[in-house]
Amino acid sequence: MSLNNNILIKLNNAGYRHKNKWLVRDVSFIIEKGKIVTLIGPNGSGKSTIAKIALGIHKKIDGEVEKYTDKIGYVPQKISIDWTLPLRVHDFMLLTENIEDEAVNEALSSTGVINLKDKNLGNLSGGEFQRVLLARAISKKPELLVLDEPVQGVDFTGEIALYELIKKISDELNCGILLVSHDLHTVMSATDHVVCLNGHVCCSGSPIDVAKNNEYKALFGEKAAQILTRYEHNHDHVHTIDGDIKKN
Partner 1 sequence: MLDDFFIRALVAGIGIAFVAGPLGCFVVWRRLSYFGDTLAHSALLGVTIAYSLEFNIAVSIFLISSVIALILIQLQKKTNLPSDALLGLLAHSSLAVGLVVIGFLAFIRFDIMGLLFGDILAVSKKDLVTIWVGGSLILLVLRLIWRPLFASTVNYELAEAEGLKPDRAKAVFTILLAAIIAISIKLVGVLLITGMLIIPTAMARNLSDNPQKMVFFSIIGGLLSVVIGLFSSLEFNTPSGPSIITAALALFIISLLKIKQTIKLKN
Choices 33-41, 93-101, 177-185, 225-233 (CB under 8 A): range interacting with partner 1: 93-101
Q: With binding defined as CB under 8 A, does residue 120 bind partner 1?
A: yes
- What is the per-residue binding string for partner 1 in 31-60, x denoting contact by CB under 8 A? ---------------------x--xxx---
Q: Identify whether the C-beta of residue 162 lies closer than 8 Å to the C-beta of residue 145.
A: no
Q: With binding defined as CB under 8 A, does residue 72 bind partner 1?
A: yes
Which of 17, 88, 200, 217 lies at the binding interface for partner 1 (CB under 8 A)?
88
Q: Which residue type is seen at 99?
A: I
Size of the site for partner 1 (CB under 8 A): 25
Chain residues 125-164 in contact with partner 1, contact rule CB under 8 A: 140, 146
Q: With binding defined as CB under 8 A, does residue 103 bind partner 1?
A: no
Q: How far is the CB of 244 from partner 1 (least distance, A)?
A: 32
Q: What is the rounded CA–CA span in Å between residue 102 and residue 40? A: 35
Residue with smaller CB distance to partner 1, 66 or 164: 66
Q: With binding defined as CB under 8 A, does residue 218 bind partner 1?
A: no
Q: With binding defined as CB under 8 A, does residue 68 bind partner 1?
A: no
Which residues are paired to 37 by β-bridges? Answer: 178, 193
Q: How far is the CB of 109 from partner 1 (least distance, A)?
A: 22
Q: With binding defined as CB under 8 A, does residue 79 bind partner 1?
A: yes
By CB under 8 A, name the binding residues for partner 1: 52, 55-57, 70, 72-74, 76, 79, 81-82, 84-88, 91-92, 95-97, 120, 140, 146
